[in-house]
Chain A
Amino acid sequence: MSTTETSSGVSPVEGAAVYTVDNPAPVIQPPRQRTKKTPKSTRGNFEMYGWLFMRLSGVVLVVLVIGHLLIQLVLDGGVSKIGFAFVAGRWASPWWQVWDLLMLWLAMLHGCNGLRTVINDYAERAGTRLWLKALLYTATVWTILLGTLVIFTFDPNIR
């Protein structure tokens, strides 16, 4: 960088150019300069879709989960009637299979996204956040896979 007389920066005569081709102004780094680490696009809409999903899945879950609780805990003797035979009777109907499948996927994804927000809020160290989220995503994926497998491979004559 040039060291000649640019440090004053104030023109002695109003309106006259301080900097010339031979005496250029010092380069000032613009804020939020793109670096090698800057992603190509920083304008994804992921968070907006996540926000929308929480609301849409929430409305559907009201029906699915409260309906489920009514069936399991209130109607027809409450919890007392639950057992292998009861589950076999319910999963004989594709209606309840689809109900449970939808409830499983929506509730797990809704809860997973909710917990992601909670982790982002409270885990301050980048490393802690990374590990907690890795744990959350693994648990979510395995639970969804296991639950789906159980619904599709259920065998009433297992014994």
Chain B
Amino acid sequence: MPAGTLYRGREGMWSWVAHRVTGVLIFFFLFVHVLDTALVRVSPEAYDTVVATYKTPIVACLEYGLVAAILFHALNGLRVIAVDFWAKGARYQKPMLWTVVVVWVVLMLGAIYPVLGHAARVVFGS
């Protein structure tokens, strides 16, 4: 195993692992996303056909996962920035992590209906 794969095993390590995994996931999504958006230069039909897959229930769940990844990476990224630039950042890193988790849970609950609502209507009928 490369050095630095496991580090003390506490909250700080797991938030770092999650930050890394979400960052890599978002990057790969963005790569595909620029390709699918580029279809607007091919034809309106090609674009609309591919975007139709974004509206299926299964992909809606993936979108919910993407939102989860972005929100965690964004909130925890702000925490990392606070630890680096705020004089008391390092002292409050742990309470800040729990704040990140709580805000993330609240936002994810709020995202259920907007992101998954239409998929539920497709599956269960309106």
Contacts and interface: CB of A to CB of B under 8 A. Distances in A.
Main secondary structure of the interface of B (DSSP, over half): helix
A58 B24 contact: no
Q: Assign chain B's interface to a size class.
A: 35 or more
A74 B30 contact: no
Contacts of B27: 111-112, 114-115
A84 B41 contact: no
Contact of B41 (A122, A124, A143, A150): A150
Main secondary structure of the interface of A (DSSP, over half): helix
Interface of B: 2, 4, 20, 23-24, 26-27, 30-31, 34-35, 37-38, 40-41, 43-44, 47-48, 51, 54-55, 60, 63, 67, 70-71, 74, 77-78, 80-81, 84-85, 111, 114-115, 117-118
Interface of A: 55, 58-59, 61-62, 65-66, 69, 73-74, 77-80, 82-85, 87, 104, 107-108, 111-112, 114-115, 118, 121-122, 124, 139, 143, 146-147, 149-150, 153-155, 158-159
8 contacts: A62-B74, A66-B74, A80-B118, A83-B48, A83-B51, A122-B2, A150-B41, A158-B43
